[in-house]
Structure 1
Amino acid sequence: MAGLLIDDVSMRFELPQGGAVQALENVTLDLREGELLSVLGTSGCGKTTLLNIVAGFLAPTQGRIVLGGQSVHGPGPERGMVFQQGALFEWMNVRENVGFGPRMKGMKKAEKARIVDHLLDVVGLADFKDKALRLRSRIATALVYPAMVCLIGLAVSIFLMTYVVPDLLGTLVKEGRDLPAITRGVKACSDFLRHWWWALAGGIAGLIMIVHALLRRPRLKLFAHRAILRVPVLGELIR
């Protein structure tokens, strides 16, 4: 199974002019199969740094990432990444972008077509496979390999989280791909709270509050470690 463990992770960046920035400090999270974690917080609090560490683009100063019982050392196809930037080839259509990775790996044409068509159907692009629809194309591209975790490195709209992601995760669960997912934030949080795991990020150097909600349970369960976080949509959450 594809559980994800972020174990006592800290990240410190040394500055060329001297000094250092502590981006993350002693972050521990245990994400099980079929659960979604959203990391919220102000600019510079470490959200993207955490995603990049899980993706294997950065090695933490301290701690480790364990996925499916195996320690993470560098990038790998078992972690599908939806980048903050476009990360699509502008001259290719949807089908060509999603099929680029399998083509580079030498996958047979018929098998590649089957996988690409299936993923385009999962993300709602079956009728637009020859057009340049961007965000869903990026999600399909990230999942074209049998990834064990999906990392979404951008603030995702409530439409995507309400309609696209639940359908996507539900379909993958039926296929036996009960993968956890992490997103860097949401633009509208109130409806989102009813369905998913998420974590609220405070200032630089750590997560100040953890809010749990199992994907398959309608009611929200709160477990706050400490501190107060003010979010415009949610108001004030207190321990």
Structure 2
Amino acid sequence: MSFEDEDEETNLNIFKDCLFNIAIERSNPQHGRKKGKSRTARAGATDAVPDASQATEPSQLVDFSDFLANEVFPSLPKELQTISHYALQDNVTLSDRWSLPLSLGTYEELADRIPPSVTDSLQAYGLISPPASDVQSFLSPVIAAYLLAATTPPPKWIETKVSACEICERDWVPMTYHHLIPRAVHAKVLKRGWHEERTLNSVAWLCRACHSFVHRMASNEELAKEWYTVERICEREDVQKWAMWVGKVRWKKR
């Protein structure tokens, strides 16, 4: 999977969360009642749109939101699908176009790309009720929330420190940080295109015993190429057995 594909997959999940949150908000009976009128009353319809006094259960919106996100997300510009903090930093044109707040014209352009079936689905769930509300009014806060989440700068690695080892889960032993992509092979990693430069300093917080075990299980090159996340490391059977054993060792009192 390429870096761009990884960004797109991650961003799709972010988009799903943002869409779900807005759908929950819009399905609330109190939404749009600031002036004492329901969405149905403002739309002048009594039978085409579900009664706003009846909120859709959150559980009913989970699958619907996933379906809707899978319909909407692919219709967005490719650069928006793969947007990230680093993408905005590295590309002035991209930053000018997608930095918040977006213009009304941009929201209109995005709404025009949405498949007509999405409009029907939103109406069926009472999330929009034309002419009082439309796809653009629903999509705009979703896009804004998505951009904010997708382009938020990552935390400094020291700020990711946890209280328990990420392998054995012991929390009564000292923590050390393990460079998931060993510094000794950074130049080779970049030359061979294994990872982007922005990921080179990613770390895991491990106890000293687990830290030593990880460096014994594979060479620096193998760690960089194959075992560059805690999740990947913990999938190994030898690591799982090690974690079960060392997790029972209490060489230091709480």
How does the TM-score come out when normalised to structure 1? 0.25
| Higher relative contact order (CA closer than 8 Å, sequence separation 6+) | 1
Q: Which has the larger radius of gyration?
A: 2
Pick the structure with more helix per residue. 2
How does the TM-score come out when normalised to structure 2? 0.24
